[in-house]
Amino acid sequence: MANPSLLILAGDGIGPEVMAEVKKIIGWYGEKRAIRFDVSEDLVGGAAYDVHGVPLADETMARAQAVDAVLLGAVGGPNYDVLDFSVKPERGLLRLRKEMDLYANLRPAQCFDALADFSSLKPEIVAGLDIMIVRELTSGVYFGEPRGIFPDNEGGRVGINTQRYTTEEIRRVARSAFELARRRNNKVCSMEKANVMESGILWREEVQWVHDNEYPDVALSHMYADNGAMQLVRWPKQFDVIVTDNLFGDVLSDCAAMLTGSLGMLPSASLGAPMANGRPKALYEPVHGSAPDIAGQGKANPIACILSFAMALRYSFDLGDEAARLEKAVEKVLADGVRTADLMGPEGGTPVTTAEMGDAIVAALDASL
Ligand code: NAD
Ligand code: IPM
Ligand code: MN
pLDDT at site 159: 98
Taking the domains of the chain in order of start, what are their residue ranges?
Answer: 1-105+266-369
pLDDT at site 66: 96
pLDDT at site 79: 95
Minimum-distance ligand 2 atom for the alpha carbon of 268: 9
As averages over each run of 10 residues, the pLDDT of the chain (369 residues) reads: 94 98 98 98 98 98 98 97 96 98 97 91 95 98 98 97 98 98 98 98 98 98 98 97 98 92 95 91 97 98 98 97 98 97 86 98 98
CB–CB of 48/60 below 8 Å? yes
Q: Which of 226, 318, 336, 366 is catalytic?
A: 226
Q: Which of 250, 281, 284, 342 is catalytic?
A: 250
DSSP3 helix / strand / coil % (the chain, rounded to 5): 45, 20, 35
How far is Cα 17 from Cα 307, in angstroms, rounded to an integer? 15
Pick the CATH number of 1-105+266-369 from 3.20.20.80, 3.40.718.10, 2.60.40.10, 3.30.70.270: 3.40.718.10
Q: Which of 23, 24, 224, 254 is catalytic?
A: 254
CB–CB of 102/281 below 8 Å? yes
Mutate to test the pocket of ligand 2, among 250, 253, 284, 290 (most ligand atoms within 8 A of CB): 250
Residue 46: CA atoms inside 13 Å, Cβ hemisphere, count? 19
Which residues, other chains included, contact 53 with Cβ-Cβ below 8 Å and sequence gap of 6+? 87
CB–CB of 22/306 below 8 Å? yes
Q: Whole-model pTM?
A: 0.97
Clarify whether 254 is annotated catalytic. Answer: yes
Minimum-distance ligand 2 atom for the alpha carbon of 254: 10
Mutate to test the pocket of ligand 2, among 72, 85, 86, 94 (most ligand atoms within 8 A of CB): 94
- The single-letter DSSP state of residue 115 is G
pLDDT at site 272: 97
